[in-house]
Structure 1
Amino acid sequence: MNIVVLAGGLSTERDVSFVTGNMVSKALRKNGHNVILLDVFMGYSDKPEDLTGIFERSQEVSVEVTSIPSTAPDLEAVKKSRKDQSDCFFGPNVIELCRMADIVFMALHGENGENGKIQATFDLFGIKYTGTGYLSSALAMDKGLSKRLFQANGIPTPAGISMKKAECERDFKKTGLTLPCVVKPCCGGSSIGVSIVRTEEEYNQALEEAFHWEEEVVIEDYVEGREFSVGVIDFKALPVIEIAPIEGFYDYKNKYAAGSAVETCPAELPENVTKEMQHYAEEVARVLGLNTYSRMDFLLNKDNKMFCLEANTLPGMTPTSLLPQEAQAVGVNFEQLCEQLIEISLKKYQ
C-alpha cells in the first residue's frame, strides 16, 4: 500500500510524534509498503509540485527524525519557521498527499492530533486513517469531560473538578478538594504542565504552570500508588504493564528518556486485580467509543483500589512506548502491531 505516516503538528508532543512516526515508517517499509513520513504542519515543499509517482520516492521526501529532546518544543519558533507562513494548520501538499494514500497512519499526539479535528477533516475529504473517529477522539482528549463519563458509567476515577482560566479560583479552600492534589492541563499529554500539589502555595504555582499550556485545567485528588497502563485493541485488553519511575513521577522526561523508568509486562499483580483493570480499560473503550485501539492509564493504591486517569487515543509508538511492549507480551512484534492497527482501522470503512 501507499501510506502517509502523519506526525509533527503544533502540540507540546510534537517531538515525541516524530519519533513515533519514524518507528512506524521503518516498520511499514519493512512490511513492504511505500511510506512517506510527513509533518502535518510543515507539509511537503512550499511551491507547486507535480506529485505524480511521489510514493515511488517516498524515503527521499520523508521527514528526517532525531531523538526526543528532554524538554517540550518551542511552538512559537516552530510556527515562525514555516516558509509559507499560511494561517492554515495543514502544511503545503498535506491534504493532496493524504488523499493519494491508501491510508494515513496517525502518528500524531496531543492537540490537533488526538482531539478529533484532523479526523473530522479527513472524514469530509474521504481520507482513510488509523485510530478512532472524531467524536471519540474529542471525548477522550478532554480529561474533564471523560472524567464525568467515567463517573456516570461506574468507572473508578479520582474525584476532581475542571476550571477555566477566566473563572480561576485561587483560594484552594473554596475548590472543595483536599491536599495533596494534582493540577494538570485539561487536554494535554505526556504529563506536560502536570504538578503534584502538597501546599496551598504550591497550588497557585501549579495553576500558573498548567494555564501556561491551556485555558482549562483539571484538579483532582492525588492517589498515592503504583502506575499502570492497559492497551485495548478492537475492544480487547492487552496485558497490563506497570511503570515505576526511578525518580519522581511518570513525567515528560521519565516517559521518553531510556532507563528513567522500570516497566514490567505483564505486571506483577493478583489475577483478580489484573482482570478488573483490564475490564475497566475495555469499559473505557466502550463508553468513549474507542473502536480501534487506545491505551488507558491507571493508579493502584495500597489497598488495591484502582483509579482510571485517562484514555489515550493515539498511544505512543516510540522505542520506550507502552503499547508495543504490551503487544510483545502476547507475541506480536512491532512490525506485526503496525500492520494489525492498519487492518483494524480499515474495518471502519467496510
Structure 2
Amino acid sequence: MNIVVLAGGLSTERDVSLITGTMVCNALKKNGHNAVLLDVFLGYETEEKDLEDIFEKGNEISSRVSEIQDMEPDIEQVKAMRTDQSTCFFGPNVLKMCQKADIVFMALHGENGENGKIQAAFDLLGIKYTGSGYLSSALAMDKGISKELFNSKGIPTPQGITIKKGQRSVSFKELNLNLPFVVKPCCGGSSIGVYIVKDEEEYKKALEAAFRYEDEVVIEEYIQGREFSVGVIERKALPVIEIAPIQGFYDYKNKYQAGSAIETCPAELSEEITGKMQRCAEMVCETLGLDTYSRMDFLLDANNNIYCLEANTLPGMTPTSLLPQEAAAVGISFEELCEKLIEVSLKKYS
C-alpha cells in the first residue's frame, strides 16, 4: 500500500510524534509498503507534478528528530520554519498527498491530532486513516467530558471539577478538595502542564501555569498509588503494564527519557485485579466509542482501588512507548503491530 505517516504538527507533543512517525515509517517499509513521513504543519514544498511518484521515492520527506528532549518543543520556533507563513494548519501539499495514499497512519499526538479535528476533515475529504473517528477522539481528548462519561457508566475515576480561564478566581477553599490535589490542562497530553498541589500558594502557581497551555483545566483529587496502562485493540485488552518512575511522577521527562522509569509487562498483579483493570479499559472504549485501538491510564491505591485517569486515542510508538511493549508481551512484534493497527482501522471503511 501507499501510506502517508502523518506526524509533527504544533502540539507540545510534536517531538514525540516525530519519533513515533519515524519508527512507524521504517516498520511499514520493512513490511513492504511504500511509506513516507510527512509533517502535517510543515508539509512538503514541491511542484504538484513532483507528487506523482512520491510514494516510490522511498525517503522521509519531512522533519525528523533524533531523540526526544526532556522539555517540550518551542512551538513558536516551529511556526517560524514554515516558508509560506500560512495560518492554515495543513502544510503545503499535505492534503494532496493524503488523498493519494491508500491510508494515512496517524502518528500525531496531542492537540490537532487526537482531538478529532483532523479526523473530521479527513472524513469530509474521503481520506482513510488509522485510529478512532472524530467524535470519539474529541470525547477522549477532553478530560472533563470523559470524566463525566466515566462517572455516568460507573467507571472509577478521581473526582474533580473543570474550570475555564474566566473562572480562575475560584478560591482555594471553594474547591472542597483535600490536599494534595492535581491541576492539569483539560485537553493536554504527555503529562505536560500537570502539577501536584500541596498548598494554596502552589495552587495559584499551578493554575497560572496550566492556563498557559489552554483555556480550560481539570482540578481533581490526587491518588497516591502505582501507575499502570492498558492497551486495547478492537475492544480487547492487552496485558497490563506497570510504570514506576525512578524519580517523581510519570511526567514528560520520565515518559520519554530512556532509563527514567521501570516498566514491567505483564504487571505483577493478582489475576483478579488484572482482569478488573482490563475490563475497565474495555468499558472505557465502549463508553467513548473507541473502536480501533487506544490505551488507558490507571492508578491503583494501597487498598487495591482502581482509578482510570484518561484514554489515549493515538498511543505513542516510540522506543519507550507502552503499547508496543504490551503487544510484545503476547508475541506481536513492532512491525506486526503497525500492520495490525492498519488492518483494524481499515475495517471501519469496509
Counting only pairs closer than 5 Å after superposition, residues 292-303 of structure 1 correspond to structure 2 as: 292-303=292-303
**2:226, 2:299 within 8 Å by CA — same for their partners in 1?**
yes
Q: Give the TM-score taking structure 2 as reference length.
A: 0.98
Which residue pairs with 1:176 in the alignment?
176
**2:8, 2:63 within 8 Å by CA — same for their partners in 1?**
no
Which residue pairs with 1:105 in the alignment?
105
Name segments (4+ residues, structure 1) moved above 6 Å.
none
SS at match of 2:10: coil
Counting only pairs closer than 5 Å after superposition, residues 1-350 of structure 1 correspond to structure 2 as: 1-45=1-45, 48-59=48-59, 61-350=61-350
**1: distance between equivalents of 2:209 and 2:300?**
26
Question: Bigger CA drift: 57-66 or 299-308?
Answer: 57-66
**2: distance between equivalents of 1:306 and 1:64?**
38
**1: distance between equivalents of 2:98 and 2:46?**
17
Shift of 1:62: 4.4
**2: distance between equivalents of 1:64 and 1:82?**
15
**2:114, 2:313 within 8 Å by CA — same for their partners in 1?**
yes
* Backbone CA RMSD of aligned residues: 1.0
**1:181, 1:196 within 8 Å by CA — same for their partners in 2?**
yes
**1: distance between equivalents of 2:48 and 2:169?**
51
**1: distance between equivalents of 2:204 and 2:305?**
29
The amino acid of 2:114's aligned partner reads E
1:343–1:329 CA distance, 2 compared to 1 (3 A)? same
**1: distance between equivalents of 2:138 and 2:60?**
34
SS at match of 1:91: coil
**2: distance between equivalents of 1:224 and 1:175?**
19
Shift of 1:58: 2.9
**2: distance between equivalents of 1:166 and 1:46?**
44
Shift of 1:63: 3.6
The amino acid of 2:192's aligned partner reads I
**1:170, 1:204 within 8 Å by CA — same for their partners in 2?**
no
The amino acid of 1:202's aligned partner reads E
Number of residue pairs the alignment of both structures matches: 350
Residue by residue over 1:240-297, the C-alpha shift from the partner in whole angstroms, topping out at 9 and shown as x without a partner, is: 0000000000000000000000000000001100000000000000000000000000
The amino acid of 2:110's aligned partner reads G
The amino acid of 1:270's aligned partner reads S
Residue by residue over 1:187-227, the C-alpha shift from the partner in whole angstroms, topping out at 9 and shown as x without a partner, is: 00000000001111111111011111111000000000000
**1: distance between equivalents of 2:83 and 2:38?**
16
Could you list the runs of 5+ residues in structure 2 that have no partner in the other structure?
none
Shift of 1:50: 2.8
SS at match of 1:38: strand
Could you list the runs of 5+ residues in structure 1 that have no partner in the other structure?
none
**2:228, 2:299 within 8 Å by CA — same for their partners in 1?**
yes
Shift of 1:61: 2.6
Shift of 1:65: 3.1
Residue by residue over 1:1-53, the C-alpha shift from the partner in whole angstroms, topping out at 9 and shown as x without a partner, is: 00000000111000100000001001000000011100000000165553111
Shift of 1:178: 1.8
Q: Give the TM-score taking structure 1 as reference length.
A: 0.98
**2:38, 2:60 within 8 Å by CA — same for their partners in 1?**
no
**2:130, 2:346 within 8 Å by CA — same for their partners in 1?**
yes
Percent identity over the alignment is: 71
1:195–1:60 CA distance, 2 compared to 1 (3 A)? closer
